[in-house]
């Protein structure tokens, strides 16, 4: 039953996106054609993101995380290629700071509200940039950076968040697009952006989600909000401290069953636990 619900919701999101693209905006007294088209497009993005949120919440609450990769694939197709990389990580932060537009603000807040309840589920299931990295990552080829280097690199995204935020506010305009991989969805940007995006994707085949872990400023915001999240990966007293979850976690976000703010609620640690000591709960 759950599988059918998930498939139906994904199909609905595809239909909504396709309908929006196939119906061009018509000019009227409210403003120029471009403004109306942009407004309709952002409303479409909000609707589709809400559908993906509904799918993700269903999967988490019913403990069907094995369908996560299918949601990732749908995200790459719909939110990535069809809608042009919805909520491009660095642009999302900058737009929220300088564009006093209700639609942009709503789109920016939806993932944060989801994060408040379910941790970084948006990162793990919905974000097209994260999803594309996920789909090119395989356990057999996956490598790990040293624990010390990983801790240091994880602070980079907070530095970038501060840099982007301050510079955007001071200039009153976007500081620049640092959303790598996005050019692969939109087919826009300079040659250097394409090369960097392909390079990052190649690195993702060996090191799990490098952009999400070390660079994404929007991910930094969600990591901070995750500290207040209600549903998280939690461990009970049956844990034997075998550390299998530590080794399995691609985000390096769990230690002896205790998940930190970089956990993307993927469920890999839960599936590998020999004592069923881990669960997603309040």
**Please, are residues 259 and 279 in contact by the beta-carbon 8 Å criterion?**
no
Domain that holds residue 270: 231-282
The CATH number of the domain holding residue 237 is: 3.30.70.20
Structural domain count of the chain: 2
Query: Average pLDDT for residues 231-247, to the nearest whole number?
Result: 93
Q: What is the pTM of this model?
A: 0.86
Q: Which residue is listed with tokens 């090191």?
A: 207
Give the CA dihedral 226, 228, 249, 78, nearest 10 degrees.
-40
Residues 166, 276: one domain? no
DSSP state of 234: E
Q: Which of 61-70, 127-136, 176-185 has the lowest mean pLDDT?
A: 176-185
Q: Looking at residues 269-282, what average pLDDT do you find?
A: 93
pLDDT digits (tens, 9 = 90+) for 73-120: 999 999 999 888 887 776 777 777 776 667 778 888 999 999 999 999
* Residue 20 in this model has a pLDDT that exceeds 50: no
Both tokens of 121, joined, read: 């589920």
Q: What is the pLDDT of residue 50?
A: 93
Residue 217 and residue 93: Cα distance in Å, rounded? 7
Q: Do 115 and 152 lie in a common domain?
A: yes
CB–CB of 145/84 below 8 Å? no
106 and 29 assigned to the same domain: yes
Question: Does the pLDDT of residue 217 top 60, yes or no?
Answer: yes
34 & 166 share domain: yes
Q: What integer pLDDT is reported at residue 27 of this predicted model?
A: 42
Question: Could you tell me if 200 and 210 are in contact, meaning their C-beta atoms sit under 8 angstroms apart?
Answer: yes
Closest CA to 176 of 187, 185, 163, 186: 163
Q: Lowest mean pLDDT of 13-22, 155-164, 180-189, name the range.
A: 13-22
């Amino acid at each position: 039953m759950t599988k059918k619900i998930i498939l139906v919701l994904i199909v609905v999101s595809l239909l909504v996106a396709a309908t929006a693209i196939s119906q061009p905006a018509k000019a009227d007294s409210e403003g120029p054609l471009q403004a109306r088209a942009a407004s309709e497009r952002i409303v479409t993005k909000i609707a589709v993101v809400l559908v993906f949120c509904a799918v993700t919440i269903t999967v988490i609450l019913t403990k069907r995380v094995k369908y996560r990769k299918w949601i990732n694939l749908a995200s790459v197709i719909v939110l990535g290629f069809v809608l042009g990389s919805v909520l491009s990580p660095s642009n999302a932060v900058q737009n929220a700071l300088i564009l006093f537009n209700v639609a942009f603000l709503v789109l920016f807040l939806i993932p944060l509200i989801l994060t408040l309840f379910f941790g970084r589920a948006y990162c793990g299931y919905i974000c097209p940039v994260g999803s594309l990295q996920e789909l090119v990552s395989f356990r057999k080829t996956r490598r790990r950076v040293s624990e010390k280097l990983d801790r240091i690199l994880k602070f980079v995204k907070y530095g970038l968040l501060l840099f982007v935020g301050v510079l955007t506010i001071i200039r009153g305009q976007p500081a620049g697009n640092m959303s790598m991989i996005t050019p692969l969805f939109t087919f826009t940007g300079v040659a250097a952006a394409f090369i960097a995006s392909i390079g990052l994707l190649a690195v993702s085949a060996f090191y799990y989600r490098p952009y999400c872990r070390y660079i994404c400023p929007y991910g930094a915001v969600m990591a901070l909000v995750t500290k207040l999240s209600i549903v998280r990966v939690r461990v009970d007293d049956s844990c034997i401290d075998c550390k299998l979850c530590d080794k399995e976690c691609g985000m390096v976000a769990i230690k002896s069953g205790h998940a930190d703010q970089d956990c993307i609620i993927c469920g890999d640690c839960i599936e590998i636990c020999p004592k069923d000591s881990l669960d997603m709960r309040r």
